[in-house]
Amino acid sequence: MKMSQWTALSTCAMAVVLPIFAPVPALAAANPDRKVLIRDITSVEGVRDNMLVGYGLVVGLNQTGDSQQTFFTVQTLANAMQKMGVLITPSTVTVKNVAAVFITSSLPPFARPGARLDVTVSSVGDAKSIVGGVLLMSALHGPDGQVYAEAQGPLVMGGYSSGGGQNGKEVNSTTVGVIPNGGIVERDTAVDLHAFKSVSLLLRNPDFTTAKAIADAVNGDFHKEIAAALDSTRVDVNVADAGEHSVPDLISRVQKLSLEVQSPAKIVINERNGTIVLGGDVKLTPVSIIHGNLSIQVVTTNQVAAVPTGEKGRGRGEPSLQPVVVPQTNLSVTDAPAQTMRLDQGANVEELVNGLHSLGTTAHDVVAILQAIKAEGGLQAELEVQ
């Protein structure tokens, strides 16, 4: 059966999730000050985190570690024991209290040797759980292969498991844990800001209008032309022309400046869970919406009926009866009358949301309606479907 995009098909077992909208224009009217700080919408080029990764062993598990079939765990254990002066044969080792893990962390900018890092430990093999384990000292490498930190310590888990089989219970993951302050920085990766001839501000949301507004705000505060927007993602500030005592002082002064950001007209739709987010600057041209609802419900009930078996009953010569379960299917179709909504020139998001609510539309209906309005040309915004 084929139905149009204005038709909603539902069964007796289908749960309908109503959309939740936030009328942005009403919020904007209540709070006219829409200015934001430059530090909240930009980052400084060269000042960023660096990813670290390592490999190691978690020991002290309660018979929940990797099995002997996970050969790299046994080989890693043999290598670790060899460094301790103990020689073992990997093929003869059966240890269930050890698990091979990957260690990940993020090295913040300006991290100095001795600084502490939080590390995340994840099982690599077939360990059932690493709860209660202790990570042995492991090196954390950067993208260039150099060692930037060392990690070691007991794991803190966010889940647990108990029992086994059908009587077992598991909450969250038992194969991923963290070690707060378990990493120690061993290599200096701080950026020398004093060598900067210009400070480049990178916009988190590229936009030409916002980039120009940042440059204008900086030039207006310093009362001279020291900033220029290179493109939609980058604004350069000249350090020599700024006249500040140091680059950190210049960055601090620039980041404290505020400006009004023009949000792009955009609608984001997630068809999988029915989430719809509409920007406050979305405008619509005159459009009429006709929405109808066709509901088809199929209900099957099982009834017991007596069916002859073909054999003669004892004494009377009548055929014997046997109870049989016979399914009974009932079909009901409900076609609701179509409802009409019209939006005038310049209608905004709040009017659209209120109108769709008055029609009694569901999240999936709204998705189809917005796509149809966009195809018709009445939606003056970018429509992104996830």
Q: 202 and 297, same structural domain?
A: no
Selection from 250, 248, 249 nearest residue 237 by Cα: 250
* Domain CATH number, residue 243: 3.30.1360
- Give me the domain span that covers residue 167: 50-185
The last residue of a domain, from among 154, 185, 216: 185
- Span 75-98, pLDDT tens digits: 888 888 888 888 888 777 778 899
Q: 372 and 276, same structural domain?
A: yes
CA dihedral 75, 76, 79, 83 (to 10 degrees): -160
Q: What 3-state class would DSSP assign to 239? A: helix
Of the pLDDT bands very low, low, confident and very high (cuts 50, 70, 90), residue 333 is: low
CA torsion through residues 62, 68, 70, 73, sign: positive
User: How many angstroms separate the most distant Cα atoms in the chain?
Assistant: 118
What integer pLDDT is reported at residue 78 of this predicted model? 86
Q: Is the pLDDT of residue 3 over 90?
A: no
The last residue of a domain, from among 185, 213, 246: 185
- Long-range CB contacts for residues 268-273, cutoff 8 Å, separation at least 24: 268/384, 268/386, 269/367, 269/370, 269/383, 269/384, 269/385, 269/386, 270/386, 271/364, 271/367, 271/385, 271/386, 272/386, 273/17
Q: Exposed, middle or buried, 158 (CB in 10 Å: 0-12/13-18/19+)?
A: exposed
Tokens matching residue 70: 């996970």
Domain for residue 307, yes or no? yes
Domain for residue 11, yes or no? no
Q: 286 and 222, same structural domain?
A: no
State the amino acid at position 41 in one-letter form. I
Q: 341 and 273, same structural domain?
A: yes
> What is the rounded distance in angstroms from the CA atom of residue 111 to the CA atom of residue 142?
14
Q: 200 and 174, same structural domain?
A: no
- Span 177-192, pLDDT tens digits: 999 999 999 998 888 8
Q: 220 and 94, same structural domain?
A: no
Domain for residue 286, yes or no? yes
CB 379 within 8 A of CB 282: yes
Region 144-165 average pLDDT: 83
Q: Give the CB-side neighbour count of residue 354, counting CA atoms within 13 A.
A: 11
Tokens matching residue 328: 């009974």
Q: 106 and 39, same structural domain?
A: no
User: What percent of the chain has pLDDT above 70?
Assistant: 74
Domain for residue 6, yes or no? no
Q: 245 and 331, same structural domain?
A: no
Q: 231 and 173, same structural domain?
A: no
pTM of the entire predicted model? 0.65
What integer pLDDT is reported at residue 27 of this predicted model? 39
Domain count, the chain: 3
Of the pLDDT bands very low, low, confident and very high (cuts 50, 70, 90), residue 350 is: low
Domain for residue 9, yes or no? no
The last residue of a domain, from among 260, 286, 302: 260
- Span 118-141, pLDDT tens digits: 999 999 989 989 999 999 999 999
CB 302 within 8 A of CB 330: no
Domain for residue 291, yes or no? yes
Is the model more confident about 113 or about 89? 113
Q: Would you list the DSSP string of 81-126?
A: HHHTT----GGG---SS-EEEEEEEEE-TT--TT-EEEEEEEE-SS
Of the pLDDT bands very low, low, confident and very high (cuts 50, 70, 90), residue 41 is: very high
What integer pLDDT is reported at residue 299 of this predicted model? 59
Residue 88 makes CB contacts below 8 A (sequence gap 6+) with 77, 78, 81, 82
Q: Would you list the DSSP string of 305-350?
A: EEEEEEEEPTTT-PEEEEEEEEEEEEEEEEEEEEEEEEE-TTB-HH
Phi and psi dihedrals of 40, rounded to 5? Answer: -85, -15
What integer pLDDT is reported at residue 58 of this predicted model? 95
Q: 106 and 88, same structural domain?
A: yes
Which of 243-252, 265-274, 329-338, 377-386 bottoms out in mean pLDDT, i.e. has the lowest? 329-338
State the amino acid at position 243 in one-letter form. G
Q: 281 and 232, same structural domain?
A: no
Q: 224 and 180, same structural domain?
A: no
Phi and psi dihedrals of 367, rounded to 5? Answer: -60, -45
- Span 355-372, pLDDT tens digits: 777 777 777 777 777 778
